[in-house]
Amino acid sequence: MTCPICTKDTDPKFRPFCSKRCANIDLSKWLSGSYAIPTNEPDLGDEDEIVLSERLN
Ligand SMILES: [Zn+2]
């Protein structure tokens, strides 16, 4: 598996990305794209599940 941002090898800590930097780049794309719901919830667990299920589509 390779990083979808820069195509380097994936780091297990940041998969599917190679680094936190690439994860943030992907997140920025998401926030500026179709997924623009404010993240004011203090419990990030549910937010992460929503994002992951959206990505699978
Ligand atoms: Zn990368």
Q: Tell me the pLDDT tens digit for each residue of 2-54.
A: 999 999 999 999 999 999 999 999 999 888 876 555 666 565 555 565 565 66
Residue 56 CA to ligand 1 center (angstroms) comes to: 19
Could you please state the CATH topology (level 3) that the domain comprising 1-36 is classified under. Erythroid Transcription Factor GATA-1; Chain A (3.30.50)
- Domain spans of the chain, in order of start: 1-36
Does residue 3 sit in helix, strand or coil?
A: coil
8 annotated ligand binder = no
Amino acid 39: pLDDT: 60
Residue 12 CA to ligand 1 center (angstroms) comes to: 12
A 10 A CB-CB count for 28 gives 10
